[in-house]
Structure 1
Amino acid sequence: MTDSIPSRTTIPLTRQSLTTHQGQASTRTQANGARLTRAELEVLQLLPSDLTLHEIATRRHVSANTISTQIKSIYRKLGVRRRLGAINEAQQQGFLRPDQDAR
C-alpha cells in the first residue's frame, strides 16, 4: 500500500478564502477569469500609489525581486503590459475601487 499525497486543487471562488490540504489559508480571487493570490492582491492595492517597486518591497517586508515577480504575474493574469493598464483592468474587474486613481 502506498501513501498518496493529496494534490492541491484550486476551486474557483469569488473573493473567498479557502484552505489548502496543508491547512494554510490562501486567497484566490476570480473576476473574468483572473485569479490572484493574496500577496498579488496586496501588491495590486499599492499599484495606484506613487510608490516605486523598492518602496512597495520595503512596505511589504520582502525583496524587490519578489515584488517584481508578483507584478509580472499580476500583469500576465490581467492581460496587460504596464502598471497603468493593470490599474485600469483591476478597476474594471472589481479588484480596485474606481476612485483609486490610476495616476
Structure 2
Amino acid sequence: MPSAAELQALQARLERALQGADWASFGAIDAAIREALLQLDGQPSSAALKVARQSLKRVHGEALRGCANESERLRKLLLAHLHYAEGNSAYRQVNDWQESR
C-alpha cells in the first residue's frame, strides 16, 4: 500500500511535468497515480494519507486542465495549418488553370 510520502512524490512528479509542459510524461505519471490509488482502494487511510490524496487530486485536476489547454492550442494550430494548406492549394489550382489556357 502506498504511503503519504509516495503520493507526495507522485504529486511532485506531476507538478514538475506540468510546470515544464512535459506532456509526453503525463501518461506514465497518470498510470503510476492510478496504480497507487487502486492499491489504496478500500484500505483504511491515515490523516496524512488523506491529506496527500486530496493534494494529489487537486494537482491532478490542474494537470487535466493544462492538458486540455494544450490540446486546444494544438487543435487551433493544426486548424491554422489546414486553412493555410487549403488556401495554398486553391491558389495553385488557379495558377495551374491560368497556365493551361
TM-score (norm 1): 0.29
- Higher helix share goes to which structure? 2
- Higher strand share goes to which structure? 1
TM-score (norm 2): 0.30
